[in-house]
Copies of this chain bind each other. A is one copy, B any other.
Amino acid sequence: MFKANENYAKLPGSYLFSTIGKKVKEYSNAHPDAKLIRLGIGDVTLPLAPSVIAAMHSAVDEMGKAETFRGYAPDLGYEFLRKAIIDGDYKAWGVDLDIDEIFISDGAKSDSGNIGDIFAADNRIAVCDPVYPVYVDSNAMSGRTGNYDKASEKWSNVTYMPCTAENSFVPELPKERADVIYLCYPNNPTGAVATKEQLQKWVDFALANGSLIIFDAAYEAYITEKDIPHSIYECDGAKKCAIEIRSFSKNAGFTGTRLGFTVVPKALVLDGVSLNSLWARRSGTKFNGAPYIIQRAGEAVYSEAGRRETREMVAYYMNNAKVIREGLKDAGFDVYGGVNAPYIWLKTPGNMTSWEFFDYLLETVNVVGTPGSGFGPSGEGYFRLTAFGSLENSLEALERIKNMKG
């Protein structure tokens, strides 16, 4: 008799952004005239860059002619894209990578969720708290997180590393066991960054303990300050303990175009096994590559024009971030992030919980954000706004929130 994966029944609710989507839809249906401003899910709004559009038109034409048609892509992705990534994303920061260390995928969410396939069942994961829900949920689905306790909103077998204003949202090294450590800098949701010195401590810890670091660098393009590492491989020894996950969603607006990649260095040998080989085996068996057309789109991001155009997009969003951050500060809010990241993280006013503030904002001023507690228990009392809207909407949302407070 078929038995279902019993771990799914332990999950406390639906995926965070599905819940928010449902709530907003219900409100919207009940109030069809409300002019909602959506600064909740981290979805971009600017159209794709002209170079990317041109590259896709050209690739589409290739697919329509017998001489240039492409069938199955190489397992790990096309070399033209992997080479562009190595040259464009890593050489600039002094990191040398081999082409076989880059795995092209359909996005960082898939990679973040699927990477657990190569972990043994009894690893203990350690996550920042608050954190991007996919890390914990995907491990919960594999039975790696123990049981969920409703009161504390914690899993019994997860090492939580609180990130609050008190530690500037960079956690202490864990005192509990931590076999797999998830780090994300610039951080989603807090917008915090780690300095190279701080990150090196984590690498040293992982090397000393035989831990694996999963480093999510999806927001790397938003770093504006110097001395903030763009890749974990800028730290000594990181190739021996870290996997890095990257995305085209936020630097080039590919949320609906789907492209990402994961770096698994050949030097990454843990538990006597090459994780590069394991991930290659996983990818070769359960994945069939990103579309050729989309890989050409990714390549165009690294062209001279593509770089210029996507940098302008990032600058546009970062201007929104500045406007929201400074505006909320002036209005008396405690505000974090928004300097090296497209997220503004704020303390909820009064003693409102995160979800109370979510409902209040939605109903009073029709602004959608993300409740901090949705990212983990230490996110309670915080709230996330994204800079991915238009400048006009960001300004209007700000005005509405200011007036609401006053």
Residues of A within 8 A of B (CB): 1-6, 8-9, 11, 14-15, 18, 41, 43-48, 50, 53, 56-57, 60-61, 63-66, 69-73, 75, 106-107, 109-110, 113-114, 117-123, 133-134, 137-138, 141, 143, 179-180, 209-212, 253, 255-258, 270-273, 275, 278, 281-282, 284-294
In the complex, residue of chain B having the shortest beta-carbon distance to the beta carbon of A106: B106
In the complex, residue of chain B having the shortest beta-carbon distance to the beta carbon of A107: B288
Q: A8-B118, A45-B71, A69-B47 are in contact. Are A2 and B286 (CB under 8 A)?
A: no
Contacts A72-B255, A291-B294, A293-B294 supplied; 5 other A-B pairs, CB < 8 Å = A4-B120, A8-B273, A48-B69, A109-B286, A113-B286
Question: Which residue of the partner chain, among B71, B117, B209, B294, contacts A255 with CB atoms under 8 Å?
Answer: B71
Question: Which residue of the partner chain, among B15, B56, B282, contacts A284 with CB atoms under 8 Å?
Answer: B15
Q: How far does the alpha carbon of A235 sit from the alpha carbon of B121 in the complex, in Å?
A: 38
Q: How far does the alpha carbon of A82 sit from the alpha carbon of B180 in the complex, in Å?
A: 38
Question: Which residue of the partner chain, among B53, B271, B290, contacts A258 with CB atoms under 8 Å?
Answer: B290
| Chain B residues whose CB sits within 8 angstroms of the CB of A138 once the complex forms | 285-286
In the complex, residue of chain B having the shortest beta-carbon distance to the beta carbon of A65: B47
Q: How far does the alpha carbon of A221 sit from the alpha carbon of B118 in the complex, in Å?
A: 36
| Chain B residues whose CB sits within 8 angstroms of the CB of A211 once the complex forms | 1-2
Q: How far does the alpha carbon of A44 sit from the alpha carbon of B134 in the complex, in Å?
A: 35
CB distance from A238 to the nearest CB of B (A): 15
In the complex, residue of chain B having the shortest beta-carbon distance to the beta carbon of A18: B284
Q: How far does the alpha carbon of A47 sit from the alpha carbon of B253 in the complex, in Å?
A: 29
CB pair A258–B291 under 8 Å, yes or no, is: yes
CB pair A110–B288 under 8 Å, yes or no, is: yes
Q: A11-B281, A256-B63 are in contact. Are A109 and B287 (CB under 8 A)?
A: yes
User: Could you show 24 A-B contacts with beta carbons less than 8 Å apart?
Assistant: A1-B179, A1-B210, A2-B119, A4-B118, A4-B270, A4-B278, A6-B120, A8-B282, A15-B281, A45-B66, A46-B66, A47-B69, A53-B61, A53-B64, A56-B293, A71-B253, A106-B106, A113-B285, A117-B141, A138-B286, A141-B282, A141-B286, A258-B288, A291-B291
